[in-house]
Amino acid sequence: MNAIPKTATHDILDHPFKLSIGGQLLDADATFEVYNPASNAVIAHAPEGSAAQLDAAVAAAARAFKDWSRLPWETRADYVTRYADALEARKDDLITLLTLEQGKPRHTMATGEVEAAIYWVREVAKRTLPVETIEDTAEHVVEVAHVPLGVVGAITPWNFPVLLGLWKVAPCLLTGNTMVLKPSPYTPLTSLFFGEIAQSVLPPGVLNIVSGGNDLGQQMTEHADIAKISFTGSTATGKRVMASGSGTLKRITLELGGNDAAVVLDDADWKSIVPTLFWAAFGNSGQWCIAVKRLYVHSSIHAQFVEAFVEYARQQVVGDGMDPATNLGPIQNTMQYGKLLDLFADVKKNGYKVPLGGTIDESIPGNFVPVTIVDNPPESSRIVQEEPFGPILPIIAFDDVEEVIERVNASPFGLAGSVWSGDRARGIEVAKRMETGTVWVNEIHIHGIDIPFGGHKLSGMGVENGHEGLCEFTNTKTYMFSK
């Protein structure tokens, strides 16, 4: 770990960050502090949108919906493409801002997130939802169309604020809805910035961004003029969203937490997959819904695997994301850092074997947590059962495939999982039995515009991306025309 992380600054922080409401860039009466997690220094003050400003944003989105929803699909697609161009022109600033407020390394994760997000906006704009004729008889024609919902409320988390925000914006606008987006109070700057960029290309009110506290999120879930909530965040908050959305019978998509397992079978070419599995677990310092959080390795190869994994992990540099030498940035906020302190204390108290890391040095400024590997803790331990959302991974031995499938599926979460085997067909058989929304065999973390993504069980409801993801921003409308 770098001894004392540098306090990074950049010109983009001189930018005045404003709410986007009805095409205007506005201040709020109050502001809140935004921190650089590499130093915990205040880097900006974000506008704390009021309840009245949220109402104004919803009203602006509702007004804009009238014209926006009636534009031809191709016209909206052109707007969304132009938005991708406008984002591209400010890409470097977005990347820098992302590192400064979120912590992830600028040259790898932050660049990757922003580039992927812009690619998403551009590619989503090429998709369509054509009207389907399902009957055409002598008597009548039956057509099924997908019509926009109205105003969509987007609520996003702090781990991938740009990608997860724009994953919602692009399909929402393309399908004819308008949006009010509320970013996490921990990472508001990138969303305020991409909102401002949107105002230069989109009609007023089509995309509104209101930063502020959790109470704004609650207000959105109860708002009578918001038709749908597209939420990404924790399972605990997801439950609240669902409960308070019920009053107005909102459409709700929930992308929630996970405790993803990777299962390495005895016939896997395990040496070659150590780096892939390392990054699958520790990328973004483990602050990733689909990070590998439980790594099950067959007992015949477990000891050698742990040794090689630790060796690879030891070479990674934890530090300030603005430093090009850094592979892994800090934990994004002190709340999450506190949760990790507690989890590390539990690992220590129980005397689990820790071949790498294990102690958080609280004297270092910034929320730095060392890469930590826990060797074969019991299945019932907190580090196996909970979603740590940090750079700590249990590598667990198993003997029997049936038994490991049971352990994997015993989790209340069901986001994603992976199986690693020298025998593809055998890997697929195991993967098919995983109770998760996504399973990978001998690959991991592949996403795509046309690949639906969503969680089972406590990991969520509905999907994002793909045809199904587009449909979630619409109501199905059936037309029957007599001949």
| 251-255 vs 460-461, strand pairing mode | antiparallel
Instruction: Examine residue 417 and tell whether it contacts ligand NAD (CB under 6 A).
Output: no
Applying CB under 6 A, among 48, 255, 260, 375 the residue interacting with ligand NAD is 255
Phi, psi of 305, rounded to the nearest 5 degrees:
-60, -45
Minimum CB distance to ligand NAD smaller for 159 or for 327: 159
The DSSP code sequence of 160-216 is SHHHHHHHHHHHHHHTT-EEEEE--TTS-HHHHHHHHHHHTTSPTTSEEE----HHH
Distance CA 408, CA 258 (A): 12
Applying CB under 6 A, among 258, 388, 452, 466 the residue interacting with ligand NAD is 258
For residue 32, list its beta bridge partners: 46
Applying CB under 6 A, among 56, 129, 209, 256 the residue interacting with ligand NAD is 256
Minimum CB distance to ligand NAD smaller for 53 or for 237: 237
Instruction: Examine residue 437 and tell whether it contacts ligand NAD (CB under 6 A).
Output: no
For residue 475, list its beta bridge partners: 147
Applying CB under 6 A, among 218, 248, 299, 409 the residue interacting with ligand NAD is 218
Catalytic residue among 255, 387, 464, 472: 255
Span interacting with ligand NAD, options 30-38, 95-103, 215-223, 320-328, rule CB under 6 A: 215-223
Active site residue 255: yes
Distance CA 442, CA 427 (A): 8
- Is 89:2 a contact under the CB 8 Å cutoff? no
CA Rg value for the chain = 23
Applying CB under 6 A, among 63, 82, 240, 407 the residue interacting with ligand NAD is 240
Instruction: Examine residue 391 and tell whether it contacts ligand NAD (CB under 6 A).
Output: no
- Is 43:9 a contact under the CB 8 Å cutoff? yes
Minimum CB distance to ligand NAD smaller for 117 or for 268: 117
- Give the three-class secondary structure for 3: coil
Residue 100 beta carbon to ligand NAD: minimum distance, rounded to whole angstroms: 18
- Give the three-class secondary structure for 232: strand
Distance CA 441, CA 437 (A): 14
- Going by the DSSP 8-state scheme, the letter that residue 333 receives in this structure is -
Instruction: Examine residue 257 and tell whether it contacts ligand NAD (CB under 6 A).
Output: yes
| Residue with smallest beta-carbon separation from ligand NAD | 217
- Mask: binding to ligand NAD, 261-290, rule CB under 6 A, as x and -? ----------------------------x-
Span interacting with ligand NAD, options 16-24, 95-103, 179-187, 422-430, rule CB under 6 A: 179-187
Residue 150 beta carbon to ligand NAD: minimum distance, rounded to whole angstroms: 19
- Is 25:18 a contact under the CB 8 Å cutoff? yes
Looking only at residues 456 through 475 of this chain, which bind ligand NAD when binding is defined by CB under 6 A? 460
Instruction: Examine residue 217 and tell whether it contacts ligand NAD (CB under 6 A).
Output: yes
Count of residues near ligand NAD by CB under 6 A: 29
For residue 298, list its beta bridge partners: 398
Looking only at residues 134 through 163 of this chain, which bind ligand NAD when binding is defined by CB under 6 A? 155-159
Instruction: Examine residue 184 and tell whether it contacts ligand NAD (CB under 6 A).
Output: yes
| Of the candidates 232, 196, 209, the residue with the CA atom closest to the CA atom of residue 83 | 196
Sign of the dihedral through C-alpha 117, 118, 123, 126 = positive
Distance CA 28, CA 456 (A): 39
Minimum CB distance to ligand NAD smaller for 190 or for 421: 190
Which parts of this chain interact with ligand NAD (CB under 6 A)? 155-159, 164, 182, 184-185, 214, 217-218, 221, 232-234, 237, 240-241, 255-258, 289, 387, 389, 415, 455, 460
Catalytic annotation, residues: 255
